[in-house]
Amino acid sequence: MRPDIGIIGGSGFYEFLSEARTVQVETPFGKPSAAISVGAVGERLVAFLPRHGKNHEFAPHKVNFRANLWALRSLGVRQVLAPCAVGALVPELGPGDLVVPDQVIDRTWGREHTLYSEEGPVVHIGFAEPYCPRLRAAYLRAAAGLPVVDQGTLVVINGPRFSTRAESLWHRSSGGTVVGMTGMPEAVVARELAMCYATICLVTDHDAGVDGQEAVSHAEVLAAFGKNIGKLKTLIGEVVATTPEPEHDAWAQCSCRRALDGIKLPFELP
C-alpha cells in the first residue's frame, strides 16, 4: 500500500501520525528535510514530512523543497496538504484565524525554484492558480464553524528574519493578506510534479507595521501556533478523511494532475 496523500508540517507541527514507520528516501536533489513517516489517519494511509526537519534545524531558506516533494511523490503521494504559520497583513485577521489563500506573491531569492534547471528541454508550467481548487474546497468544508477566511494572498518572504515595518506595509499595498517564509517554491515544485497542493495558514500574529503592532519574536509565533495546534490537526484529519483517492473521477480530472500534459520533460518522474 502506498500513501496517496501527504502532509508537510511547518513550525510547531512536527508530528501528526501515531505508530508510523519511517522511510528514508534518496532523491536526485539530495536528502529531504527528514525521514518520511507513513501511517494511518483513520482508514487512510498518509505520509508526513516535517518541513524544517525533525528538530527544526532547517531555516526557511535552507529547506530542500525539491527533495521534499520528490521524496513524497516517489512514495506514491499525489495530493499535498501544507499547513503553515503566518503573520497577518490586515487588521481584520488575528491570532488563531485560518486563511485558505488562493494566490501567492513570491518575494524569495536564492532558493532552487525549479526541478528543471539543468540541460534539457525548457519546461514552462502554468501557475496562474497556484493552489489546487479541490483541496482548497476540502479545507473550507472541514473548517466549517471555525474562524476561516476563504481566499487571500500569501506573501512569501525569504527569512529567516521577520519583515521591517516598511516591508510589511509594502506587502499589504501589493495585495497581500498574510505573510510567511515557506510557501514558495514549495507550491511551484508541487505543480512541476503534477501534484495537487494547497496550504492553510494559521495566523499567529500581526506583522510589524500593521496598525502599529510591535515586532514579533519566534518564541511568540511558536507559542501562538502551539495554542491552536489542536484544532488545526483535527481539521487536517477531517480533510484527509474526505479527500477523494486518486482513482476517483474528481481527482482524475483535476487541472493539477494535467499540469505537465503535452510537455516534454528532461527526465522521468517517480
Q: Give the Cα separation of 109 and 130 in Å (integer).
A: 18
What pLDDT was estimated at residue 209? 72
Q: Give the Cα separation of 39 and 237 in Å (integer).
A: 13
What pLDDT was estimated at residue 217? 67
Assigned domain for 270 exists: no
What pLDDT was estimated at residue 200? 96
Assigned domain for 161 exists: yes
What pLDDT was estimated at residue 247? 65
Question: CATH code at 85?
Answer: 3.40.50.1580
Assigned domain for 257 exists: no
Kindly give, in sequence order, each residue whose CB lies less than 8 Å from that of residue 43, ignoring residues fewer than 6 positions away. Answer: 241
Assigned domain for 264 exists: no
Q: What does each of the 270 residues of the chain score in pLDDT, given as a tens digit?
A: 799 999 998 766 667 777 789 999 999 999 999 999 999 888 889 999 999 998 889 999 999 999 999 999 999 999 999 999 999 999 999 889 999 999 999 999 999 999 998 778 889 999 999 999 999 999 999 998 888 999 999 999 999 999 999 999 999 999 999 999 999 999 999 999 999 999 999 998 888 877 766 666 677 777 777 778 888 888 999 999 988 776 666 666 789 999 999 999 999 999
Assigned domain for 260 exists: no
- Catalytic site residues? 205, 207
Closest to 164 in 3D by CA, of 233, 235, 215, 239: 215
User: Degrees (nearest 5) of the Cα angle 202, 206, 211?
Assistant: 150
What pLDDT was estimated at residue 42? 84
Assigned domain for 266 exists: no
Assigned domain for 212 exists: yes
How is residue 228 written as a grid cell?
491552536
What pLDDT was estimated at residue 6? 96
Q: Classify residue 121 by burial, with Cβ atoms within 10 Å: 0-12, 13-18, 19+.
A: exposed
Residue tagged 494511518 (cell numbers):
40
Assigned domain for 28 exists: yes
Q: Classify residue 184 by burial, with Cβ atoms within 10 Å: 0-12, 13-18, 19+.
A: buried
Identify the domain containing residue 246 by its residue range: 5-252
What pLDDT was estimated at residue 12? 65
Beta-ladder partners of 201: 84, 99
Handedness of CA 91, 92, 98, 101 (dihedral sign): negative
User: Count of domains in the chain?
Assistant: 1
- DSSP three-state, residue 179: strand
Spacing of C-alpha 261 from chain mean position? 23
